[in-house]
Amino acid sequence: MSDESIVLRSQAERTFLAKLTWIDRASLTLAARHGLDPDEQDDFAATVREKLIDDDYAAIRKHRGEAMLETYLTIVIANHFKDYCVQRWGRWRPSAVARRAGDMAVRLEVLIHRDGYKLDSAIEVLRSEGVSLSTSELRRLAVSFPARTNPRKHEQWIPLDAMSPDGADDRLLETERQKTYERAIQAVNQGIERLSPTDQLLLRLRIWEGMAVADIARSLNMDQKPLYRRIERSYKELRNHVEAAGVDVDGVRSLLDEP
């Protein structure tokens, strides 16, 4: 290594150490904003540190001062986050429905179905990005997206004791639980598709988003009083369909509590 390379590496290392607290905070904030749990946030922050140290701090040495260092590192961390998500959960692709509706629809679907935002939170993000569609229009667009599961919710985590023969029963139990969950997901999706688009939207807002009926009525410009009976009727239809598919009542309740 030449003297110049040694100097550049030393400078980059000092920059890294001086900014380490900021780097960790930026990494954790980004991971939390995208719905990662605390362990995943810590794992991502550690990954960022490793990437910045790789190849004698190559990423930091590439900073030429065209932008502020924090701005440059924000972009670097964001790119590492994309790679981190692809490596752990595979590449996410928008649905054909969202693609046909345009870039704004793709962005909304990404926020809800990939990044784990609640619908109201996703709408707030779009508002901050300058989207001018009404809340009612955005809600109706969201309900048109096909039902999808977040890959992070279905990671196959195997405890250490499952690697031994004593863990065979645990593995079998986990396999059966996963099959039951997937069957319930399929039954709920099929049950929702049997409802009218408006009833689908009402159920999603009431059950998954937890909105009060009064708020739903104001948001969709509908009469409040008939909504109670309509939502109850749709919920009963959905529940009957799921139970007919062989999912027990407790399974239905636990599933409907989860987006």
Which amino acid, one-letter code, is at 151? P
Give the Cα separation of 199 and 195 in Å (integer).
6
The answer on pLDDT for 154 being more than 70 is no
Is 167 in the same domain as 246?
Answer: yes
Is 150 domain-assigned?
A: no
Report the pLDDT averaged over residues 28-56: 87
Query: Torsion over CA of 152, 253, 109 and 125, rounded to 10 degrees?
Result: -90
pLDDT surpassing 80 at residue 218: yes
Asked if residue 188 and residue 242 are part of one domain, the reply reads: yes
**Residue 17, burial from CB neighbour count under 10 angstroms (0-12, 13-18, 19+):** exposed
Both 178 and 105 in one domain: the answer is no
Q: Is residue 18 part of a domain?
A: yes
Residue 197's identity, in one-letter code, is P
Q: Which range has the top average pLDDT, 19-23, 120-124, 135-139, 173-177?
A: 19-23
pLDDT attached to residue 175: 54
What domain count does the chain have? 3
181 and 109 both lie in a single domain: no
Is 149 a member of any domain? Answer: no
Residues of the domain holding 103: 96-144
Answer yes or no: do 83 and 100 share one domain: no
Q: Does residue 104 or residue 184 have the better pLDDT?
A: 104
The whole-number pLDDT of residue 162 equals 34
Q: Is 166 in contact with 175 (CB distance < 8 Å)?
A: no
Work out the mean pLDDT of the chain and round it to a whole number.
77
Lowest-confidence segment of 78-82, 129-133, 178-182 by average pLDDT:
178-182
- Sort 219 into a burial class: Cβ within 10 Å, 0-12 / 13-18 / 19+: middle
Tokens of 259: 């987006």
- CATH number, domain of 59, equals 1.10.1740
Percent of the chain topping pLDDT 90 = 14
